[in-house]
């Protein structure tokens, strides 16, 4: 017959009467006391052993071993309800006195069996089931899933107690073989204490395991972020290297070669190639590739219409990656990324054209991530900028070559025409002089004077054109001479004095120092000053003032390398022609251009060739000098600065 006992701790703890004890009874009492003292020591050791670990499995094993030893059980089994899903079996930790290792093969119960056992226990903290016999199982109100494995294992008694506090998390089952030995009240209290300590230890272990899992997850996340940071740094350095390389290149092949090689190496690709489009012919030509194991495709031309599903997307500036369903006969199974080459920040629609594409080949399981795709897009954008720059440079070079050719033809034409015109103009002037020796009427003489003036103007234009041609060809030699600046300039301005006086203008001349000697090309210097004075007379109104100033700084010894240095810094001469006339600021940048004349700026209505200031600039450059024009407050300055070998001794 099955006997079922339900007890609570404290039952049987009745206080004994203080009646005198016999010797035998006293010995039994002392033996029990000593056993209880030994039990208390073992209980403390068991509790410390349970508390000593944060590993859940170790806690369960330690608790099972301690309970089996404390309660003198033959087998201890601890069930824990799985928290993952209600239908999963309970975890089992068991120790058998015959093996001292976890026992396998005991029932793994479903969640409903656990609930049934809790209902069976009710409010009791433990229950004892004795006289387990297969013939009596039908009289037990426990489910056979519990009792049959116990009986088959040879257990005769079972002590069952829940653990987990107010919210039970599992069951503790202690079993005995053969004749049942009753458990003492202090042993049952020890069971309750070990169950409480195990509950606390399991909660701490769960928190520790959760913390460890969080730490592991954070560690993995930190490692992933660190790997992403390293990858981003690697990609940034690669992009900078590619940008620096292609920015200064004007060779399309070199640009694409650099981009393809760097991408293949940094992304560890099996192959990478770049193609350029011919949108008029609807073709794509692979111009460069880098392949470690892939077959060579360089030079292949693809008709876009044959692969419209691919090139329609690329021409719409869309990248994509894919893996072919069937192996390619040449590449096999690979993963591909196609990225168009275009300017993503172009200012006009014409620059939004797709110039080509980049193809990246990887192993079939590889998926290009966001960082890799962004790198490829940035490299493609840099290639587009460099290619556009290269093509603009080629177009500009072609235009420059064409303009240079046109300029050469123009110079040849001017030179030829000028030479051809000199002879007829000379003949016309000679014929005019012959006519002047004959008797002419006043009207005829007036016409002769007009012809003489115009022919002289035409001859000046031809001479200016020829001089300009020689200066541009560099065929005008520089022949330096030593001159006394004060007396030379005084003689130079003499022909202008009458013209200036006839117009009511004034001319002031200032040379510092007045004993200065210089070495320069007299003819070129004379032409420069004559053109500037002529220009000042032409554009200065009546009663206006003209100033010619020359200042010089002598040669200096360079003392930067010490007092013993013998290096000489060349001297400079500054010639300034200043006149009362205003040139609009918008016209100043153009006054040294050929055939340019400031509109409405000639108060004397004098015709000019428009080559005077252009010739002056060329002549100053021939002497390795510079000229600058300024105009404000009703005055105009032309300042010529020349490096000269200046002799400082006086006459």
CATH number at residue 518: 3.30.565.10
Q: How confident is the model at residue 638 (pLDDT cuts 50, 70, 90)?
A: very high
What is the average pLDDT across 28-35? 73
Count how many Cα atoms sit within 13 Å of the Cα of residue 344 in the half-sphere of its side chain. 14
Which range among 139-148, 238-247, 410-419 has the greatest average pLDDT? 238-247
What is the average pLDDT across 275-288? 90
Both tokens assigned to 104: 């396998």
Report the pLDDT value the prediction gives residue 141, as an integer from 0 to 100: 59
**Residue 287: is its pLDDT beyond 60?**
yes
Sorted by sequence, the CB contacts under 8 Å of residue 451 that are 6+ apart come out as 428, 432
pLDDT digits (tens, 9 = 90+) for 346-382: 445 555 688 999 999 888 888 998 888 988 888 888 8
Both tokens assigned to 624: 């390795």
Beta bridge partners of 79: 92, 171
User: Which helix (H) or strand (E) element contains residue 278?
Assistant: strand 271-278
Q: Which of these ranges, 8-12, 202-206, 465-469, has the smallest mean pLDDT?
A: 8-12
What is the average pLDDT across 193-198? 86
| CA neighbor of 75 nearest in space, from 193, 189, 177 | 177
User: Which helix (H) or strand (E) element contains residue 573?
Assistant: strand 571-579
Q: Residues 292, 316: one domain?
A: yes
In a domain, 428, yes or no: yes
Structure letter (DSSP) for residue 100: S
Both tokens assigned to 614: 């252009």
Give the pairing of strands 155-163 and 91-96. unpaired
Report the pLDDT value the prediction gives residue 53, as an integer from 0 to 100: 81
Cα–Cα distance measured from residue 433 to residue 436, given in angstroms and rounded to the nearest whole number: 5
Check: CB of residue 78 under 8 Å from CB of residue 57: no
Q: Residues 553, 625: one domain?
A: yes
**Residue 107: is its pLDDT beyond 60?**
no
How many CB atoms within 10 Å of residue 354? Answer: 20
Sorted by sequence, the CB contacts under 8 Å of residue 211 that are 6+ apart come out as none
Give the pairing of strands 545-553 and 506-512. parallel
Report the pLDDT value the prediction gives residue 358, as an integer from 0 to 100: 92
HEC profile for 608-636?
A: CCCCHHHHHHHHHHHCCCEEEEEEECCEE
Q: Work out how many domains the chain is built from and give that number.
A: 3
Q: Residues 455, 571: one domain?
A: no
| Domain end point (choices 155, 185, 209) | 209
Q: Residues 255, 191: one domain?
A: no
Count how many Cα atoms sit within 13 Å of the Cα of residue 19 in the half-sphere of its side chain. 4
**Residue 195: is its pLDDT beyond 90?**
no
| Domain end point (choices 161, 182, 209) | 209
Q: Residues 306, 167: one domain?
A: no
Q: Residues 444, 295: one domain?
A: yes
In a domain, 345, yes or no: yes
More confident residue, 444 or 647: 444
CB burial string 492-505: b at 16+ within 10 A, e below: bbeebeeebeebeb
Report the pLDDT value the prediction gives residue 139, as an integer from 0 to 100: 43
**Residue 562: is its pLDDT beyond 60?**
no
Q: Residues 368, 513: one domain?
A: no
Count how many Cα atoms sit within 13 Å of the Cα of residue 178 in the half-sphere of its side chain. 4
Cα–Cα distance measured from residue 99 to residue 102, given in angstroms and rounded to the nearest whole number: 8
**Residue 193: is its pLDDT beyond 70?**
yes
More confident residue, 82 or 498: 498
Cα–Cα distance measured from residue 301 to residue 286, given in angstroms and rounded to the nearest whole number: 7
pLDDT digits (tens, 9 = 90+) for 576-608: 999 988 888 888 888 888 777 776 655 555 555
Q: Which of these ranges, 96-105, 160-169, 324-333, 543-552, has the smallest mean pLDDT?
A: 96-105
Q: How confident is the model at residue 96 (pLDDT cuts 50, 70, 90)?
A: low
Cα–Cα distance measured from residue 384 to residue 341, given in angstroms and rounded to the nearest whole number: 6
Report the pLDDT value the prediction gives residue 647, as an integer from 0 to 100: 46
Q: Residues 452, 521: one domain?
A: no
Give, rounded to a whole angstrom, the gap between the first and last alpha carbons of the chain: 153
- R_g of the chain, CA atoms, integer Å: 56
Report the pLDDT value the prediction gives residue 263, as an integer from 0 to 100: 87
Q: Residues 205, 350: one domain?
A: no
| CA neighbor of 546 nearest in space, from 555, 556, 535 | 535
pLDDT digits (tens, 9 = 90+) for 61-92: 888 888 888 888 888 888 887 654 443 334 45
In a domain, 18, yes or no: yes
More confident residue, 566 or 410: 410
**pTM of whole model > 0.75?**
no
- What does residue 287 show for φ and ψ, rounded to 5 degrees? -100, -20
Report the pLDDT value the prediction gives residue 375, as an integer from 0 to 100: 87
Q: Residues 359, 304: one domain?
A: yes
pLDDT digits (tens, 9 = 90+) for 433-464: 777 777 778 788 787 777 777 777 777 777 77
**Residue 568: is its pLDDT beyond 60?**
no
What is the average pLDDT across 476-500? 84
Cα–Cα distance measured from residue 464 to residue 468, given in angstroms and rounded to the nearest whole number: 6
In a domain, 371, yes or no: yes
**Rounded-to-10 torsion of CA 591, 596, 602, 606:** 130
Indicate the average pLDDT of the chain.
76
In a domain, 152, yes or no: yes
- What does residue 31 show for φ and ψ, rounded to 5 degrees? -65, -45
Cα–Cα distance measured from residue 620 to residue 478, given in angstroms and rounded to the nearest whole number: 11
| Domain end point (choices 209, 239, 269) | 209
Both tokens assigned to 488: 């030379």
| CA neighbor of 609 nearest in space, from 429, 423, 414 | 414
In a domain, 238, yes or no: no
Bond preceding residue 513 cis, omega within 30 of 0? yes
Check: CB of residue 422 under 8 Å from CB of residue 480: no
What is the average pLDDT across 212-237? 86
CA 115 to chain centre: 62
Q: What is the domain extent for residue 426?
A: 248-475
CATH number at residue 161: 3.30.450.40
More confident residue, 134 or 226: 226
Q: Residues 190, 278: one domain?
A: no
**Residue 489: is its pLDDT beyond 80?**
yes
Sorted by sequence, the CB contacts under 8 Å of residue 428 that are 6+ apart come out as 451, 455
In a domain, 231, yes or no: no
Check: CB of residue 70 under 8 Å from CB of residue 41: no
Q: How confident is the model at residue 418 (pLDDT cuts 50, 70, 90)?
A: low
Sorted by sequence, the CB contacts under 8 Å of residue 248 that are 6+ apart come out as none
Report the pLDDT value the prediction gives residue 153, as an integer from 0 to 100: 67
What is the average pLDDT across 292-300? 69
Q: What is the DSSP string of 194-225?
A: HHHHHHHHHHHHHHHHHHHHHHHHHHHHHHHH
**Residue 117: is its pLDDT beyond 60?**
yes
Q: How confident is the model at residue 339 (pLDDT cuts 50, 70, 90)?
A: very high
The three-state secondary structure class of 390 is: helix
pLDDT digits (tens, 9 = 90+) for 248-259: 777 887 888 888
Check: CB of residue 372 under 8 Å from CB of residue 237: no
Q: Residues 166, 138: one domain?
A: yes
Check: CB of residue 317 under 8 Å from CB of residue 346: no
pLDDT digits (tens, 9 = 90+) for 312-334: 999 889 999 988 777 766 677 88
Q: How confident is the model at residue 17 (pLDDT cuts 50, 70, 90)?
A: very low
How many CB atoms within 10 Å of residue 446? Answer: 11
In a domain, 277, yes or no: yes
What is the average pLDDT across 547-573? 61
């Amino acid at each position: 017959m099955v006997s079922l006992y339900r007890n609570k701790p404290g039952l049987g703890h009745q206080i004994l009467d203080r009646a005198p004890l016999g010797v035998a009874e006293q010995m039994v009492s002392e033996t029990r006391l000593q056993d209880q003292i030994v039990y208390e020591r073992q209980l403390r050791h068991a509790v410390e052993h349970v508390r000593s670990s944060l590993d859940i499995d170790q806690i369960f094993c330690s608790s099972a071993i301690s309970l089996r030893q404390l309660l003198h059980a033959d087998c201890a089994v601890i069930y824990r309800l799985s928290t993952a899903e209600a239908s999963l079996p309970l975890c089992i930790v068991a120790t058998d006195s015959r093996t001292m290792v976890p026992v396998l093969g005991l029932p793994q119960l479903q969640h409903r069996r656990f609930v049934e056992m809790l209902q069976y226990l009710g409010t009791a903290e433990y229950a004892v089931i004795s006289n387990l016999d297969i013939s009596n199982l039908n009289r037990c109100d426990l489910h056979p899933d519990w009792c049959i494995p116990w009986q088959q294992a040879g257990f005769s008694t079972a002590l069952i107690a829940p653990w987990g506090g107010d919210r039970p998390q599992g069951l503790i089952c202690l079993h005995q073989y053969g004749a049942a030995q009753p458990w003492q009240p202090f042993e049952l209290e020890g069971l309750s204490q070990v169950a409480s300590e195990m509950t606390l230890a399991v909660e701490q272990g769960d928190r520790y395991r959760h913390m460890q899992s969080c730490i592991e997850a954070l560690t993995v996340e930190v490692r992933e972020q660190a790997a992403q940071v390293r990858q981003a740094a690697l990609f940034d350095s690669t992009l900078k290297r590619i940008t620096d390389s292609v920015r200064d290149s004007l060779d399309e092949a070199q640009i694409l070669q650099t981009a393809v090689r760097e991408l293949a190496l940094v992304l560890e690709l099996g192959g990478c190639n770049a193609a350029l489009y011919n949108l008029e012919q609807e073709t794509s030509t692979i111009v460069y590739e880098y392949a470690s194991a892939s077959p060579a495709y360089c030079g292949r031309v693809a008709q876009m219409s044959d692969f419209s599903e691919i090139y329609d997307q690329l021409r719409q500036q869309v990248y994509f990656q894919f893996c072919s369903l069937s192996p390619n006969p040449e590449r096999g199974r690979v993963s591909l990324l196609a990225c168009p080459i275009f300017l993503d920040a172009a200012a006009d629609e014409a620059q939004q054209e797709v110039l080509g594409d980049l193809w990246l080949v990887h192993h079939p399981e590889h998926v290009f991530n966001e960082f890799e795709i962004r790198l490829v897009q940035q490299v493609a954008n840099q290639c587009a900028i460099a290619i556009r720059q290269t093509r603009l440079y080629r177009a500009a070079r072609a235009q420059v070559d064409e303009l240079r050719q046109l300029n050469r033809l123009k110079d040849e034409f001017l030179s030829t025409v000028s030479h051809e015109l000199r002879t007829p103009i000379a003949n016309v002037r000679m014929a005019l002089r012959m006519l002047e020796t004959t008797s002419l009427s006043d009207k005829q003489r007036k016409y002769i004077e007009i012809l003489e003036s115009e022919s002289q103007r035409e001859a000046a234009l031809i001479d200016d054109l020829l001089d300009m041609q020689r200066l541009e060809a560099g065929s005008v030699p520089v022949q330096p001479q030593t001159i006394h600046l004060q007396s030379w300039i005084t003689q130079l301005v003499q022909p202008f004095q009458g013209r200036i006086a006839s117009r009511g203008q004034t001319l002031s001349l200032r040379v510092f120092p007045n004993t200065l000697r210089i070495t320069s090309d007299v003819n070129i210097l004379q032409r420069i000053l004559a053109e500037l004075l002529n220009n000042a007379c032409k554009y200065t109104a009546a009663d206006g003032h003209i100033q010619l100033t020359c200042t010089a700084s002598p040669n200096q010894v360079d003392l930067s390398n010490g007092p013993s240095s013998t290096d000489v810094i060349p001297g400079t001469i500054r010639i300034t022609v200043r006149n009362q006339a205003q040139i609009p600021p918008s016209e100043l940048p153009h006054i040294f251009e050929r055939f340019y004349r400031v509109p409405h700026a000639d108060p004397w209505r004098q015709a000019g060739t428009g080559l005077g200031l252009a010739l002056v600039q060329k002549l100053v450059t021939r002497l390795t000098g510079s000229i600058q024009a300024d105009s404000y407050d009703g005055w105009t300055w032309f300042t010529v600065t020349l490096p000269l070998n200046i002799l400082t001794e006086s006459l």
